[in-house]
Amino acid sequence: MKLRIHKDSIRFRFTREEARALSEGMVLAEHVAVGPLAEQQLSYRVVPDGPGPISVAFADNTISVFVPQAELLDWYEGEILALETTQNWSGGQVRVMLEKDLQRLNPKPGDEPKGVYSHPLFGVKHCDHP
């Protein structure tokens, strides 16, 4: 699971295996050290949970995204590339996206991505940036 944070958006990106695990009800969690002490880490997790809409919470240095199990299964099995929601808080809002990790349009020599999804434009378009 990859995490990308930019301004008011948080993007999670998943390989096929990770998306399958979520669709089967498994919680995926990671963390990154953001300081020298053990408690100075940012954790993030995606939790297959109940029937409600996608929701986001932040507590104990952990970003938690709760996603209905049925949506995760449809996403994993279908053509939908991303699930998304916007969470509003008193201090602003954040847009959260769960995306399938797609193969690069311009693979680098020796780049052998494992478990990524086929890009719908692969072989049709070329991306010029590195």
Q: What is the pLDDT of residues 67-83, one digit of tens each?
A: 999 999 999 888 888 89
pTM exceeds cut of 0.85? no
Rounded Cα distance between 65 and 94, Å, is: 12
With CA atoms as reference, report the closest residue to 15 among 129, 114, 84, 130: 114
Q: Residue 101 has what pLDDT?
A: 78
Grouping H, G, I as helix, E, B as strand and the rest as coil, residue 55 is: strand
**Nearest to residue 47, comparing CAs of 76, 67, 32?**
67
Q: At what angle do helices 16-23 and 69-77 cross, to 10 degrees?
A: 140
The residues facing 55 across adjacent strands are 66
Cα of first residue to Cα of last residue in the chain, in angstroms, is 22
More confident residue, 123 or 115: 115
